[in-house]
Amino acid sequence: MKKLIWAAALTAVSAFSSAGGTISLVTPDATPYVGQIFTIDLVVSGNADEILGFGLDYLVSTGAINLQSYDINPFFGPDFGLPDTNIAAVTFPGTTDATVTLVSFKFLAQTAGVSVFSVFSDLNDGNEGLFTLNLTEDLSKALTIDVQAVPEPASLGLAAVALAGLAVALRRRK
């Protein structure tokens, strides 16, 4: 009987400790070219609870990328505009979807170089974190973006001439 009680207790603790799922920053392209617009999404996947809202701060480490705008998932409504919190949105009832994009950030790749985009939440601040029906989780994550220089037009022209020459040489062989 004691083993059954311990098993039930451990199952309950593990269910609550991972109720909000895995939190990650996701981008289709972590190596954009200078001048390119790209997005980074803050995503909860494997959700096993009811997500009611979130609050967070964000930071960009260098000027290689520049935040243009962000879009909160419309399910949560608009940003509350709380002091000391960059983004905060709450709704009730919440969502129990397995995968939820909380917010999508739009960036401009400005200069070649490496930049780190971070979101973070101070769990001592009652307005920050991932709020689920059963607990509050830390949203802190970071993603490295390596902005690439745009290839020079002269290099592209030279490559085109080389390919054309190769095509002519292959045609003569046949």
The domain 2-173: what is its CATH number?
Answer: 2.60.40.680
SS3 123: coil
pLDDT tens figures, 80-112: 888 889 999 999 999 999 999 999 999 999 999
pLDDT for the residue numbered 44: 95
How big is the chain by its Cα radius of gyration, in Å?
23
Residue 21 tokens read as 């799922």
Domain boundaries, the chain: 2-173
Full-model pTM? 0.75
pLDDT mean across residues, the chain: 84
Q: Is the pLDDT of residue 158 over 70?
A: no
Q: With bands split at pLDDT 50, 70 and 90, how would you rate the model's confidence at 10? A: very low
Average pLDDT score over residue span 76-81 = 89
